[in-house]
């Protein structure tokens, strides 16, 4: 094999795909990066776009710009529809193909409605910039409609926001939305008092932030309730429609419903005809390769990777980046003639969740923090991982302004097809 001509194809410019590409700099390979969007998204702060704290340009960057200095990398804006494992080709939706020597699939995850895909039009999830602007539009439009509504019951339904799922995304959405309604928008309307907005967080389990230590879950629940969020535990949602949600024996009239309850892997398992778990994650080998195809790797949310204790590696940015570095190291070894399988070992960096603009919960295992100090550490960690000085400065200034004044600058209602709100 001519090492100089070794072609690595990376599908997905998320945390894992970009980390792998950066780690292969200077190696005797050529890389093709394929993504159906032209930008890399800093997903941990996507909820802040949805809740008017940040602009889209502050959490996303053009892929071509990020890789502009890498002459060994070709970027393609394209939609993958399948993989020909025998012919070693990636299939694109326009009928063309891209040949590979090594293929890395880092395509992330999408929303999962537990067999009720009909709920999606009424309860959008939060995975893309389009999702974030849709949610922002629905939230702000609900206030505008409430301002014109004369029927008290319909007005209250417009001022009720239900969030399904008590993980970090649901908790962060709930805390930020209630502050938006109670602080930022206060006094801007004449016929409604936005402080009457009701935010309800619905979790089927017995506690929110289930991956955190129980005392941190309890802290988060109390912190949300102090902000004005109603936390409902132990009841699974059984219906979502234009009128609201049903969970347990309760029916909640809510014109805005947000979905943060579950995710499913992108259709990588279907492309490969590979074994997958119920969430669609490919059951990979210990070295992250696909069984029977050592030249194909799956990383990030699309892969099921087990830790020594049998628990899956969490679908968070640090794990995707670690997996990307691991696969890059494997490729380097193979180029040097060492084909020894190298099992992936995940190092957990901790769990973080913010609760409004003055509190957070952090679980590092060996230390657990809450409150104001945890919020600052959460902010510092996220700013550190942003790309570029300009974005770090812009986000820092936006957060400082919100912290001091409660005002959020990204409160624009853009046009869309949301006629079900």
Q: In sequence order, what DSSP letters do the residues of 149-175 get, joined into one string?
A: --SHHHHHHHTEEEEE--SHHHHHHHH
Judged against a pLDDT cut of 90, whether residue 421 lies above it is answered with no
What average pLDDT does the segment 267-295 reach?
A: 96
The tokens of 75 are what?
A: 């970027």
- Is 172 catalytic? The answer is yes
Q: What is the pLDDT of residues 250-279, one digit of tens each?
A: 999 999 999 999 889 999 999 999 999 999
Beta strands in 313-387 (DSSP E): 351-355, 359-363, 368-370
Q: According to the model, what pLDDT value does residue 339 have?
A: 94
Q: Supply angle C-alpha 5, 6, 8, rounded to 5.
A: 130
Nearest to 326 by CA among 345, 305, 313: 345
Contact of 252 with 157, CB cutoff 8 Å? no
Nearest to 399 by CA among 364, 353, 356, 367: 356
Q: What is the pLDDT of residues 80-122, one digit of tens each?
A: 999 999 999 999 999 999 999 999 999 999 989 999 999 999 9
Q: What is the pLDDT of residues 170-223, one digit of tens each?
A: 999 999 999 999 999 999 999 999 999 999 999 999 999 999 999 999 999 999
Judged against a pLDDT cut of 50, whether residue 1 lies above it is answered with no
Measured between alpha carbons, how far is 71 from 250 in angstroms, rounded to an integer? Answer: 58
Judged against a pLDDT cut of 70, whether residue 312 lies above it is answered with yes
Contact of 259 with 124, CB cutoff 8 Å? yes
Q: According to the model, what pLDDT value does residue 3 have?
A: 47
Tally of helices (H runs) and strands (E runs) in the chain: 11, 25
Q: According to the model, what pLDDT value does residue 420 have?
A: 44
Q: According to the model, what pLDDT value does residue 161 have?
A: 98
Q: What is the pLDDT of residues 209-245, one digit of tens each?
A: 999 999 999 999 999 999 999 999 999 999 999 999 9
Torsion of CA 389, 393, 396, 398, to 10 degrees: -130
Q: Element (H or E) spanning 164, and its range?
A: strand 160-164
* Residue 76 main-chain phi, psi, to 5 deg: -120, 130
Contact of 387 with 61, CB cutoff 8 Å? yes
Average pLDDT, the chain: 94
Judged against a pLDDT cut of 70, whether residue 364 lies above it is answered with yes
Lowest mean pLDDT among 131-140, 220-229, 357-366, 387-396: 387-396
Q: According to the model, what pLDDT value does residue 400 have?
A: 87
Give me the residues paired with residue 7 across strands: 30
Catalytic residue selected from 19, 58, 149, 172: 172
* Residue percentage of the chain with pLDDT more than 70: 97
Q: According to the model, what pLDDT value does residue 135 have?
A: 97
* Residue percentage of the chain with pLDDT more than 90: 85
Q: According to the model, what pLDDT value does residue 418 have?
A: 58
Contact of 122 with 335, CB cutoff 8 Å? no
Nearest to 327 by CA among 105, 99, 177: 105
Contacts of residue 406, defined as CB under 8 A and 6 or more positions apart, other chains included, come to: 179, 183, 184, 357
Query: pTM (2 decimals)?
Result: 0.93
Measured between alpha carbons, how far is 161 from 178 in angstroms, rounded to an integer? Answer: 9
Q: According to the model, what pLDDT value does residue 4 have?
A: 58
Nearest to 321 by CA among 28, 26, 36, 43: 43
What average pLDDT does the segment 153-175 reach?
A: 97
Q: According to the model, what pLDDT value does residue 2 have?
A: 44
Measured between alpha carbons, how far is 414 from 406 in angstroms, rounded to an integer? Answer: 22
Contact of 177 with 53, CB cutoff 8 Å? no
Contacts of residue 225, defined as CB under 8 A and 6 or more positions apart, other chains included, come to: 231
pLDDT band at 296 (very low <50, low <70, confident <90, very high): very high
Contact of 252 with 245, CB cutoff 8 Å? yes
């Amino acid at each position: 094999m001519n090492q100089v001509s070794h072609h690595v194809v990376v599908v997905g410019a998320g945390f894992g795909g970009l980390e792998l590409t950066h780690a292969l700099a200077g190696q005797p390979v050529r890389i093709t990066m394929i993504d159906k969007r032209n930008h890399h998204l800093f997903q941990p702060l996507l909820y802040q776009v949805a809740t008017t704290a940040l602009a889209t340009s502050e959490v996303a960057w053009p892929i071509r710009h990020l890789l502009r200095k890498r002459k060994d990398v070709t970027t393609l804006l394209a939609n993958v529809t399948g993989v020909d494992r025998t012919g070693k080709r990636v299939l694109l939706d326009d009928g063309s193909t891209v040949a590979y020597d090594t293929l890395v699939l880092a395509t992330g995850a999408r929303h999962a409605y537990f067999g009720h895909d009909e709920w999606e039009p009424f309860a959008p999830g939060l995975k893309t910039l389009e999702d974030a602007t849709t949610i922002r539009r629905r939230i702000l439009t609900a206030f505008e409609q409430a301002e014109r509504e004369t029927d008290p019951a319909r007005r209250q339904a417009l001022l009720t926001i239900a969030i399904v799922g008590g993980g970090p995304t649901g908790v962060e959405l709930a805390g930020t939305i209630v502050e938006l309604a109670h602080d930022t928008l206060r006094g801007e309307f004449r016929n409604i008092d936005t402080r009457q907005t009701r935010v309800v967080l619905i979790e089927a389990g017995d506690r929110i932030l289930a991956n955190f230590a129980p005392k941190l879950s309890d802290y988060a629940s109390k912190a949300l309730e102090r902000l004005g969020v109603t936390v409902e535990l132990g009841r699974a949602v059984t219906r979502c429609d234009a009128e609201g949600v049903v969970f347990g024996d309760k029916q909640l009239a809510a014109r805005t419903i947000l979905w943060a309850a579950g995710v499913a892997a992108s259709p990588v398992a279907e492309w490969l005809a590979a074994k997958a778990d119920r969430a669609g994650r490919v059951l990979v080998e210990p070295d992250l390769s696909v069984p029977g195809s050592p030249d194909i790797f799956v990383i990030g949310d699309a892969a099921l990777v087990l830790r020594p204790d049998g628990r899956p590696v969490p679908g968070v940015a640090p794990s995707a980046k670690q997996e990307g570095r691991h696969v890059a190291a494997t490729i380097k070894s193979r180029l040097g003639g060492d084909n020894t399988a190298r099992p992936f070992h995940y190092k957990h960096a901790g769990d973080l969740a913010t609760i409004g603009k003055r509190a957070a919960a952090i679980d590092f295992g060996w230390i657990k923090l809450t409150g104001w100090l945890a919020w600052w550490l959460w902010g510092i960690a996220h700013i550190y991982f942003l790309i570029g000085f300009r974005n770090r400065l812009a986000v820092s200034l936006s957060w400082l302004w919100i912290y001091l004044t409660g005002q959020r600058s990204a409160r624009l209602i853009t046009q869309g097809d949301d006629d079900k709100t």
